[in-house]
Amino acid sequence: MSAFRPKIVAGSAIALAASLLLSGCLGLGGKAPKQLISLVPTSSVQAGPAVTADSKNAIVIMDPESDRSLEMLRVPVRVNAATIAYLTDVAWIEKPSRQFRGVLAETLRTRTQRLVVEDGDFDAVGSTMLTGRLLAMGYDAPTQSVVVRIDMQRHEKGGAITSRRFEAVVPGIQAKAAPVAAALGTAVNDVAGQVATWVVG
């Protein structure tokens, strides 16, 4: 493997030494990635009749917020509590938060007859609005796991707001592009299913 070239968010020489154990799998090289990750929902609405519904009863899904490590198209690797690097040879095809929104929207469409509107489709005020903050969508080196974690808020007509944290962990994953990409797809669909169950009831 090539030399390790991490991006250090914070930490010390000790943290850097520990990160070198992952030599070659992480970096910030300027070369184009060999693989792009596109998250695909495991369930999808079949082609057929259009869904006709009152937009006032729609479920509106906003783009989740996220910290700067998830605003990039690189796949973050948590080396320790204070250090983040990025996986080499792979990148997101689109921002992780937007890809999560798309998987969640399609999952909800398969589980409900209600109109599901994604942020940016058109101006709509539904009876349920989903907002959130994406906390993790990447690789955790100490546990050799892929982790997806998000805080979601459900805003109901009338002003009631409910908040809940959702998480999926896929353990035993090597810090390589192909297994991490596959595990991310599994974890994101798991979390989207959890959120859909919470919303639909």
Query: Which residues in the chain come in under a pLDDT of 70?
Result: 1-32, 46, 48-55, 120-125
Confidence at residue 113, expressed as pLDDT on a 0 to 100 scale? 79
H-helix or E-strand spanning residue 59 = strand 59-61
The CA–CA distances, whole Å, from 108 to 44, 181, 195 equal 9, 23, 9
DSSP annotation of 2: P
Question: In which residue are the tokens 């990635």 written?
Answer: 33
Confidence at residue 41, expressed as pLDDT on a 0 to 100 scale? 93
Confidence at residue 44, expressed as pLDDT on a 0 to 100 scale? 75
Whole-prediction pTM value? 0.81
Confidence at residue 114, expressed as pLDDT on a 0 to 100 scale? 83
